[in-house]
Amino acid sequence: MKLDVNALRYLAKDDFRVLTAVEMGMRNHEIVPAELVDRIARLKHGGTYKVLRNLLKNKLVHHDATKYDGYRLTYLGYDFLAIKTLVNRGVFASVGRQIGVGKESDIFEVATEDGTVLAMKLHRLGRTSFRAVKSKRDYLRHRRSFNWLYLSRLAALKEFAFMKALGDHGFPVPAAVDCNRHCVIMSLVQGYPLVQVKELQNPDDVFDTILGLIVRLAEHGLIHCDFNEFNIMIDDDEKITVIDFPQMVSVSHRNAQMFFDRDIECIYKFFNKRFNLTSEKNEEQAGSESDDEGNSRPSFLSVKKTAGSLDKELAASGYTRKEQVEMDKYIEEDAERHDSSSDDDDDDGRFC
């Protein structure tokens, strides 16, 4: 469902009260009984049911009468709750055009009262899973049942915490501004996704910079897990900015080496195919090992020996261990989906 913020102006206080009631009910129910929504909202004279019909008409809730008369939030309803909260906080005053669509996110421009333009990212975990139903039936038959709104909120909370911490440690990332539910507000990055770039003035330098960032992250105790040409912004001066962090894991994660090696492989494949760049010149790079073709690549085991503790610092940032476990489960299944679809991705022009 496309975000239409104009509909926000037509929603009354009671509409948001009932939306919030459905959200509260979803803490313990996948489908919230209508009677429970009514009890939580506490509107007079049966007003809850009238409001629910209006919300359903505007696709802010989904109605399910399979087992009982119940409702759940749609992503659009969740969008409106997050946007309303952030506007009330004074974080931004208006929503502009959509500027990006990720695998599991939508990005919009927003503007503050003084005209400063920021970026608003709405996480939409589960979107790629639903799109893959026809081609990945065997995979989906065995997958867990996730609460996608809950996981999207965790992804936003995690991305905001990591973005702020990485920025504080001097990494080239957007400035973290605020976060609510599945929505992250950040500074607007100037430039283009690397995947859109056909030529570089200094491809060797850009390649070295990107590999250096992967290694530097690991030296601080973190693996990006989705480091590819879609998640790297580059400006006209070929300055790099890294985006999209919700799948980051600690170097102590049981699959950390696999994630690290995959990030490295993504960059090698992209630069080799797009810019015909080989890696012989990196053979003297510290903490590297040779691959099957004799090229030198960053070694996870070498980097891990001197890894810092930024991963542990983030554990104290409000992103709890329980929440990390839930996200790790999703990340691992996403890795399985990544592996099962790698051939399809290559056909689509994606190199990792």
Per-residue buried b or exposed e for 121-160, using 16+ beta carbons within 10 Å of the residue's own CB: bbbbbbbbbeebeeebeebeeeeeebbbbebbbbbbbbbb
Q: What is the CB neighbour count within 10 angstroms for residue 18?
A: 28
For residues 106 and 100, the answer to whether their CB atoms sit within 8 Å is yes
Residue 347 annotated to the active site = no
Element (H, E) at 178: strand 176-180
User: Of residues 226, 244, 263, 334, which has the active-site annotation?
Assistant: 226
Closest to 216 (Cα-Cα) out of 162, 270, 172: 172
For residues 156 and 183, the answer to whether their CB atoms sit within 8 Å is yes
Closest to 298 (Cα-Cα) out of 199, 223, 246, 243: 223
Element (H, E) at 62: strand 61-64
Q: What is the DSSP string of 240-307?
A: EEE---TT-EETTSTTHHHHHHHHHHHHHHHHHHHH---SGGGTT-SSEEE-TTS-EEE-HHHHHTT-
Q: How far is CA 109 from CA 92, 102, 114, 332, in A?
A: 10, 15, 14, 31
d(CA 180, CA 294): 48
d(CA 77, CA 82): 9
Which residues, including other chains, have CB under 8 Å from residue 232's CB and lie 6 or more apart? 193, 194, 210, 240, 241, 242, 243
Closest to 56 (Cα-Cα) out of 38, 71, 44, 40: 71
Secondary structure of residue 222 in the 3-state scheme: strand
For residues 110 and 185, the answer to whether their CB atoms sit within 8 Å is yes
Active site residues: 226
